[in-house]
Amino acid sequence: MAKPTVVVVGADKGGVGKTTVARTLLDYFTAHHVPTRAFDTESPKGTLKRFHPDISEIVDATSVPDQMRIFDTLSSTDASVTVLDVRAGLLSPTLRSLRDIGFLDAVKKGQLTFVVFHILGSSIASLNEIEDTSSFLGDSKYFLVKNFINNTSFFEWDQATHASYFRKFKDAIEITIPKLNEMAYEQVELASVPFLTFVANKGLKGESANYSFVLRGYVRHWLGNVWAEYDRVKLNEIVASGGVASSGPRVQVVSRS
Amino acid sequence: MTRPAPLYIVTSPRPRMGKTLLARLLVEFFRHSRRPVVGFDLNPRDPAFAGRFPRLVWPVDIANTRGQMELFDRLIAETTSTKVVDLGYGPFEQFFAVMREIGFVQEARRRGIDPIVFFVTDQSMATVRSFGELQRRLAATLVPVHNESVSLLFSKEDFPLTRPECGMIHIPRLSAIVRGVVDRPNFSFNAYMTKQPGGPTEVHKWIAELYAEFRDFELRLLMGRLSASLGGASTPATTRGRAR
């Protein structure tokens, strides 16, 4: 069996699209048949839970009982991947807690795989966050995500500044999440279903839905591009812990309506 | 089982090529054959096609997502009516970009709808390049249209056929005076055909020739499909020798 993988999605800044990225990851693992569970730290009301209720739990990442629910069960759960959607401002404290409970030591010993998706904002402050965060991440896979989905323009980053920051973190890999058509994004929000379910024209319980073909097409195309980024960084291989890489399924419209 | 009605997209990357005239002819041809037809006019600034058939043709602006939904969702959802899209040179690029991005042709094919692009040709380099690009990137049937009124010459090397069995469409030249007749705001090809007080005129012959051209095209399409379903080679046959 593959060793357990913990994927942390976070940022210290709010509104940069952490939950959206977490949702694309859950869809990616679902499509690759990787048993996955998720924890939504937006306690008490979780956005991730709204889209993936069957595999998500809402937790308070700062409370010890909830930390036990997440980390003490890594070996016993059927899920080989645990996705943790960390609330704004809690990325650094969460990583500190992981260090304190010995989680990072277990990663160092090769008992666990640890992946961090650090969602960046457009400001220089966001680049400073990388410095704070990266000090915890010696043996993890560290992805810096430029998320354009909510129309972020990384205008504050000139090439020289950007390069000077990124040079410091040689092991960090950059991922770009492209922009999704606003109306398509809004309709998925209203439907409250995973992106993949929206593309397949289904409701949350698998019933037939009546979403616009155009909007489904936009989501399918966008999700395909996002997954291409995950394939590029070999995410599937990382969670399979060095297993044989499988060529994952592409996003397909499978509606029958 | 009835096959879903086809979708015709009449287009050219250049203005004043006779696209709307061809779209009008198609609508009237399908009405003449007593087949349900709807149209979409993608020229929001000057919806001349919609103006001719206010109850059958809807003007749509695909510059925004709502307009794209209005068009593409309807093209896919309803399969009983033949659809004719008059795609002007303005939204030409965006139309095909959206079409590719949302996987329209694949979905249409999955539903049994055959998208056919009538591409009105001319001798300009940009048009030839545009045709080649569409042919490479679009999985739909691309049919060159030679409109003699806008381009005297047609080079088949410049516009190779996507499906040789389908051939091409040829619109004979109309004299300027007669062209003025068919451009009159209330002119109807079908109504004109029923009235021949002094015997057939140039316009009668021109309409009859074009309707025969359309019938021929449909036959060639059908024969091509039959041939493909039987696993044979494409049918070179043409009843009137138009598959140039």
Q: In the structure encoding, which two tokens stand for residue B166, read together?
A: 């389908």
Return the biggest CA–CA distance within chain A.
Answer: 52
Summarize pLDDT for B73-85 with one digit per residue, the tens: 999 998 899 999 9
| Alpha carbon distance A185, B228 (integer Å) | 41
Residue B68 forms contact with A (CB below 8 Å): yes
Residue B58's beta-bridge partner residues?
B40
Summarize pLDDT for A41-51 with one digit per residue, the tens: 987 788 999 99
* H helix or E strand, kind and range, residue A236: helix A235-239
Task: Supply the pTM of this predicted model.
Answer: 0.86
A222: closest chain B residue by CA: B101
Cβ distance of B102 and A183 shorter than 8 Å: no
pLDDT at residue B196 is higher than 80: no
| Alpha carbon distance A240, B5 (integer Å) | 48
Chain B environment of A256 (Cβ under 8 Å): none
Q: Which of B61, B62, B64, B65 to mutate to test the interface with A (most CBs of A within 10 A)?
A: B65
Chain A environment of B106 (Cβ under 8 Å): 253
pLDDT at residue B190 is higher than 80: yes
Residue B112 forms contact with A (CB below 8 Å): no
Summarize pLDDT for A176-197 with one digit per residue, the tens: 999 999 999 999 999 999 999 9
Q: What is the pLDDT of residue B239?
A: 44
Summarize pLDDT for B142-168 with one digit per residue, the tens: 999 999 998 888 888 999 998 888 899
Confidence of residue A175 (pLDDT cuts 50, 70, 90): very high
Residue A181 forms contact with B (CB below 8 Å): yes
Which class does domain B7-229 fall in?
Answer: alpha beta
**In this complex, which of B65, B76, B101 lies closest to A183 when CB atoms are compared?**
B65
Which residue carries 């936009």 as its tokens?
A: A218
Predicted complex ipTM: 0.84
Angle at A214 between CA A211 and CA A220, to 5 degrees: 85
Cβ distance of B103 and A217 shorter than 8 Å: yes
pLDDT at residue B210 is higher than 90: yes
Chain A environment of B69 (Cβ under 8 Å): 183, 212, 214-215
Which residue carries 């002819």 as its tokens?
A: B25
Q: Please give the average per-residue pLDDT across A133-156, as a whole number.
A: 76
Which has the closest alpha carbon to A106: A65, A71, A133, A130?
A71
Q: Which has the higher per-residue pLDDT, A158 or B66?
A: B66
Domain ranges of chain B: 7-229
Q: Which has the higher per-residue pLDDT, A46 or A245?
A: A46
Cβ distance of B65 and A217 shorter than 8 Å: no
- Secondary structure (3-state) at A203: coil
Cβ distance of B68 and A213 shorter than 8 Å: no
| Alpha carbon distance A86, A59 (integer Å) | 10
Instruction: Indicate the average pLDDT of chain B.
Output: 90
Q: In the structure encoding, which two tokens stand for residue A145, read together?
A: 């995500």
Q: Please give the average per-residue pLDDT across B107-117, as a whole number.
A: 92
> Topology of domain A5-181+220-239, per CATH?
Rossmann fold (3.40.50)
Summarize pLDDT for B211-227 with one digit per residue, the tens: 999 999 999 998 888 88
Instruction: Note if the bond before A93 is cis, omega within 30 degrees.
Output: no
Q: In the structure encoding, which two tokens stand for residue A107, read together?
A: 């990663």
